[in-house]
Chains A and B, each alone.
Chain A
Amino acid sequence: MNKVILLVEDNPTDEKLTIRAFGKCNISNEVVVARDGAEALDYLFATGSHVGRDTTQVPAVILLDLKLPKLDGLEVLRRIRADSRTQTVPVVVLTSSKEDEDIARSYSLGANAYVRKPVDFAEFAEAAKTLGLFWLLMNEPPRQVR
């Protein structure tokens, strides 16, 4: 079974465009959308509305926006890396800004990549395609040790 892509994104426009971009390049993995930081953690750790989910099923990749309601992206990232169940899951920060501070803090908290969402949709689709190919096909994640 294909692993899911967890898209943490509060902006519905960006959500639609990201899913469309994946569709365009035939990435067929299920995309789970969390619309704020708290919901993302609920999904990952099977709490709140995701109680009972099997936490050994980790996403292939987490696409994480930084500016999110409730918990911001950097805090979500910190908690993902602090938990043994999710600490090796690839996290790609996918956000609007390219402020040096955002980039530096993302990497220092353990992000695997930082991608700025391009305004141009063709570029955006290309970025999604590259991300998908790399993290879903080329990258070898560590085997889950349990």
Chain B
Amino acid sequence: MTARAITKSAWSEQTSQLYPKFLSGELRFSKLTSLFGAVVTTRAPVIANDAPRDPRRGGLPPGHPSLDHFLGLPLFSGVELVGVLGLANASGGYSEATIEYLEPMVKACANIIAASRSAEAKLRGEAELQRLNTRLEAANAELAAFSYSVAHDLRAPLRGMNGFATVLLEDYGDKLGADGLDCLREIHSNAQKMAKLIDALLSLSRLTRSEMRPEHVDLSALASEVGRELAAANPEHHVELVVEPELECELDHGLARVLVENLLANAWKFAKHVPSPRVEVGKIDDAGARAFFVRDNGAGFDMAFADKLFSPFQRLHSATDFPGTGIGLATVQRIVHRHGGRVWAEGQVGAGATFHFSIPTRGST
């Protein structure tokens, strides 16, 4: 305990010597086995009208004025003990009447301490928020610089590898033989793959950096439109698409399209090889909140790995069976999280998969 306030009135020569010590902040109470401590441990007023012989006394530091009568009062803010008020050496000692008489002042002191503490906590909170904000801004700036460097510098060497593999093929292809040509094709396709991964990474990082403006989105119309595009891009597979009408949501317009494109492209990819592929878009009631889903009857997945589905570059299927960058569902998760929503998946190997997402509406959480 530190002495926060001390009165100077009615002091003797001897007690006045305590004052500079208090001002310097050196007046501290560290022992709980003392009259002051007894107030803290019992959380109740302590009256000691024969202080020198009181069993609760803890002795006085050298130079301390003699203590004949003592009254210690706990200061409560609610149930929290925020301080102790100590009085000493009133002629005639202290009684319950003194306690009653002092009650308004004790309450006022407790309120002042509590208010000062909450103001300090608020200031500390604001300073902490400011510090975190600065750190976040710095991290964002670093991320932007990093992405810029990735966009510019990482593709150039790939262009070199790919380009010169092609030069070799064009100028010396006739001398290489079948194995040699195959090696060149491997170099070529690997460079292409890495270029795609870099692009995927960049678009993923762009997702989290772009400005966001949620507005009303007609999910049914958007899903049907994206479905038509996917059908056109995969003419060799007929996938039946069923979209529930009047699915509506609050989403950033651009991000909503990316979200639906990724979910539907994912469903298309895993369903298109089954005999009658079907993709369904609808809504369910998720514990009173509305959630949307995209369901397919495709390859499905093992629920044991459900948590890996949304991590970038994590794949549950071989790249040969189901090609892709491993970024689609990570993109979906980021978009949903940026809107404060939740995304989850259910599936079974060979029996299709369902991806759910819920987005809080404006004004609710």
Contacts and interface: CB of A to CB of B under 8 A. Distances in A.
A97 B151 contact: yes
B151 A14 contact: no
A120 B151 contact: no
Contact of B160 (A14, A95, A118): A14
A30 to B, nearest CB: 22
B195 A119 contact: yes
A119 B152 contact: no
A96 B162 contact: no
Interface in B155-184: 155-160, 162-167
Given A119-B192, A119-B195, A120-B192, A95 B152 contact: yes
B155 A117 contact: yes
Contact of A124 (B152, B163, B202, B206): B163
Nearest to A17: B163
Contacts of A121: 159, 162-163, 165-167
B152 A117 contact: no
Contact of B162 (A11, A16, A20, A119): A119
Nearest to B169: A121
State the main secondary structure of chain B at its contact with A: helix
B148 interface: yes
A97 B144 CA distance: 13
B285 interface: no
Interface residues of B, number: 23
A17 B159 CA distance: 9
Between A11, A17, A118, A119, the greatest number of chain B beta carbons within 10 A of the residue's beta carbon is seen for A119
B153 interface: yes
Given A119-B192, A120-B192, A121-B166, A13 B151 contact: no
A118 B191 CA distance: 11
Contact of B159 (A20, A97, A102, A119): A119
A13 B161 CA distance: 9
A58 interface: no
A17 B155 CA distance: 14
A100 B165 CA distance: 30
Contact of B151 (A99, A118, A122): A99
A67 interface: yes
Closest 8 CB pairs of A and B: A13-B160, A97-B151, A121-B166, A119-B195, A121-B163, A17-B163, A67-B152, A96-B155
Given A20-B163, A119-B158, A121-B166, 9 more contacts: A13-B160, A13-B163, A14-B156, A14-B160, A96-B151, A117-B159, A119-B195, A122-B166, A124-B159
22 contacts: A13-B157, A13-B159, A13-B163, A14-B156, A16-B163, A17-B159, A20-B163, A20-B167, A95-B152, A96-B153, A97-B151, A97-B152, A97-B155, A98-B151, A100-B206, A117-B155, A119-B162, A119-B191, A119-B192, A121-B162, A121-B165, A124-B163
